[in-house]
Structure 1
């Protein structure tokens, strides 16, 4: 699966990606930020994982291509080290509800509460 269209809505803090499968997925910037595959978030070993908190109002400032296989998203909190492959973006889009629910469970288990958007 390869994207046929990628759009960033900076006002709504959303990214929309249409794939050659005919499917289109919409992601919040917060969702993408907390699901970054960067070493800062997932680490190099499972025990290195860092739960991302306080990202409710993060925005996507820019997107740059990475080869023919993905993109780098530049977030306004300074994070820009995660590479989002087409496969990863498709997986995140296809199972968005599951991944979001799991993130919210992790926040709650760690004693954090998601703040309301400002």
Structure 2
């Protein structure tokens, strides 16, 4: 198991920088971390039950809470905080983030979904509250 030597949050650029003791390092976007959250809410309870996360382009991480000596809990700006990111999982994300990002974009496209928060159709705007 590779253990992180540094985990640094860059809130303005919405990146989590992770360095591991074997020299592997990556800058993981908050969006990627949120979309690939290891929580049951996102992963489902088995293969094929994953829930595609949409509208997460601008999500940020508000807090990083250590969990023992093996994981961190990330608290996201959309209220999501049930994923435990183990060192092994963070390492996997660091190694595979480009592939995972491409998969995420393909899944969004296939679903006709967007990285942006869905907005109400123009007809619903201006409902007389002026």
SS at 2:37 equivalent: coil
- 1:1-118 matched pairs, under 5 angstroms: 1-115=2-116
Structure 1: 4+ residue segments shifted above 4 A: none
C-alpha displacement of 1:23: 1.7
- Over aligned residue pairs, what C-alpha RMSD do you find? 1.3
Q: Distance in 2 between matches of 1:16 and 1:2?
A: 14
Contact 2:26 2:94 in 1 (8 A): yes
Runs of at least 5 residues in structure 2 that lack an aligned partner in the other structure: 117-130
C-alpha displacement of 1:34: 0.0
Deviates more, 1:1-10 or 1:45-54: 45-54
C-alpha displacement of 1:114: 2.9
Q: Distance in 1 between matches of 2:103 and 2:6?
A: 28
Q: Distance in 2 between matches of 1:34 and 1:111?
A: 16
**TM-score between the two structures when normalised by the length of structure 2:** 0.85
**TM-score between the two structures when normalised by the length of structure 1:** 0.93
Contact 2:24 2:94 in 1 (8 A): no
SS at 2:57 equivalent: coil
The one-character-per-residue Cα deviations of 1:65-100 (angstroms, maximum 9, x if unpaired) are 111111000001000000001011111111111000
* Count of residues in correspondence between the two structures: 116
Runs of at least 5 residues in structure 1 that lack an aligned partner in the other structure: none
